[in-house]
Amino acid sequence: MLMKNKVALVTGGGSGIGRAIALAWAREGAKVVLSDIDVKAGEETAALVKAQGCEALFVTANVAKPGDSENLVARAMAQFGRLDVACNNAGIAGPAALTADYPLDGWAQVIDINLSGVFYGMKYQLGAMLKSGGGSIINIASILGSVGFATAPAYTASKHGVVGLTKAAALEYSAQGIRVNSVGPAFISTAMTSDLRNDPDINTMLVGSHPIGRLGRTEEVAELVLWLSSDKASFITGAYYPVDGGYLAR
């Protein structure tokens, strides 16, 4: 089992990609710590992890609040005594608007959650992993961490920032046994993309932008995160891995 005896933490674990990651880790024997602002959804994921015979800890946390990120890691350490893997997954899409028309409060919220939230998470995860003897951090970026997208300036900027932050941390901590990588999903069938998928014209456009001919599934992102979490990726750090059905090859 790839994650046997490892303690792994995922933010935004109540649904979508975060839930798929938690379940993939559980399948491979991890002790799973997950956070979300949605208490019901987070508890449901924890129950699903436990149903696979693994230990789970759910902690309510808003990643935009540094204190919540600190408490999340502290709870994981108190419960399990170590932290081996962390996936900073929580994020929002934000408003859709041209840059000149973009609402200031929308900009602040997207940056606070998608970029600052990853920084806050890593700040406390890194300290715990140093005490634990090393580990692996996976930051969920996006294909928009590599290219632009009209009407999504905040999301695009935040995800580019995640890729850069990942590289900086990898340079700082890889020699101390902590690998740091980012994953860039394309458009995945989740609640975040539901409004887009429910519009037939937009859905057709989105599907057509992926050469593979469909949108991605949460499990397909989770499998890559699982590999990066494991010792099989022991020489991989500072990298950005798209999971995009060929989107970026165009």
Is 239:181 a contact under the CB 8 Å cutoff? yes
173 annotated active-site: no
For residue 187, give every residue at least 6 positions away whose Cβ sits within 8 Å of its Cβ, in sequence order, or none: 193, 196, 206, 209, 210, 215, 216, 247
Three-state secondary structure of 30-52? CEEEEEECCHHHHHHHHHHHHHC
Distance from C-alpha of 197 to C-alpha of 192, rounded to nearest angstrom: 10
Paired with 242 in beta bridges are 184
Question: Quick check: helix, strand or coil at residue 27?
Answer: helix
Burial class from Cβ neighbours inside 10 Å (0-12, 13-18, 19+) for residue 86 reads buried
Task: Tell me which of 120, 155, 173, 247 is the catalytic residue.
Answer: 155
Is 22:10 a contact under the CB 8 Å cutoff? yes
For residue 100, give every residue at least 6 positions away whose Cβ sits within 8 Å of its Cβ, in sequence order, or none: none
Distance from C-alpha of 227 to C-alpha of 8, rounded to nearest angstrom: 13
Distance from C-alpha of 247 to C-alpha of 250, rounded to nearest angstrom: 6
Question: Rounded to 10 degrees, what is the CA torsion of 170, 172, 175, 178?
Answer: -50
Kindly list the catalytic residues: 155
